[in-house]
Amino acid sequence: MKKIVWAVFSVLMLLIITSCGTSNSNTTTGGQEPDKGILTKIDLNDDGDAIFIIKNEGKDEASLTFTSGQQIEFQLLNEAKEVIYTYSANKLFMQETQEKKLQPGEEWAIPLYLQAELAGVPAGTYTLMVWSTAEGLNDLKIEITYDWAGIATSESTGKLVVEIQKVTYIGQQDLHSIEVKNLEGTTEAMRLSEVAIPFFDGLEEGTKLIVEYVVENEQKVIQFASLAE
């Protein structure tokens, strides 16, 4: 009888020790550096647009995993801390796991085309909150005060303006170029920004897309793409 009691006691102790040893919390809060050494920051440009920067300050290669084509999220909050604009609210993203590797000391700069995104938002002073959607970085949010001057046009400012077009994907010409068919049935080539490149990896021919692009040197350069409904 004593042997049975001792055996049961030993099994219970083993389970308790195993449970304690496998607990592994890796949560982060906004403004704190996660275990993998990733830091984020925002550079606000004079023209009202911004750049979201993800930097690997660790000693080892960092691998960022995204569960969809969405790599960042941002929101605009008014003085009452109410969310009045969410970047992803009017977009569809490819549901495919993606991975981005950063070497020690390497930075990844992601442009935020706020002038185009916030075209329907009244001018005013807001709080801009930006974060990465990579696994483990969702809570590393950055907040800055953002003075929004209202709608800007290329004629009045001379700046690049993001335009939207519905197209059908034909294929990839090279790493930075794709071929599409527009609504008029005409085939045209478009360039890909660094941020847009992962979206087209393995994309099937004939997929209908919504692309957001700017015109640089008479060439359409895609900044963002999503699946058309």
Residue 136 lies in a domain: yes
Give the range of the structural domain holding residue 222, as residue numbers without chain letter: 163-227
Domains identified in the chain, total number: 2
Q: Tell me the average pLDDT across 92-98.
A: 79
Range with top average pLDDT, 44-48, 141-145, 213-217: 141-145
pLDDT in tens, 38-48: 899 999 888 78
Q: Do 82 and 106 belong together in one domain?
A: yes
Among residues 96, 129, 152, the one where a domain terminates is: 152
Distance (Å, rounded) from C-alpha 71 to C-alpha 64? 10
Instruction: Identify the CATH number of the domain in which residue 106 sits.
Output: 2.60.40.2360
Question: pLDDT higher for 144 or 13?
Answer: 144
Q: Do 56 and 144 belong together in one domain?
A: yes
Q: Say what the pLDDT of residue 160 is.
A: 61
Among residues 102, 132, 152, the one where a domain terminates is: 152
Q: Do 131 and 170 belong together in one domain?
A: no
Q: Say what the pLDDT of residue 229 is.
A: 67
pLDDT > 70? residue 211: yes
Query: Percentage of the chain surpassing pLDDT 70?
Result: 79
Q: Do 145 and 180 belong together in one domain?
A: no
Residue 31 lies in a domain: no
Distance (Å, rounded) from C-alpha 32 to C-alpha 38? 9
Q: Do 167 and 65 belong together in one domain?
A: no
Residue 24 lies in a domain: no
pLDDT > 80? residue 185: yes
Among residues 128, 152, 176, the one where a domain terminates is: 152
Q: Do 70 and 148 belong together in one domain?
A: yes
Q: Say what the pLDDT of residue 105 is.
A: 93
Residue type at 189? A
End-to-end CA separation in angstroms for the chain: 70
Q: Say what the pLDDT of residue 106 is.
A: 93
Tokens coding 111: 């442009």
Residue 22 lies in a domain: no
Region of residue 11 (left: phi > 0; alpha: psi -120 to 50; beta: else): alpha
Q: Do 148 and 167 belong together in one domain?
A: no
Q: Do 75 and 139 belong together in one domain?
A: yes
Q: Say what the pLDDT of residue 12 is.
A: 44
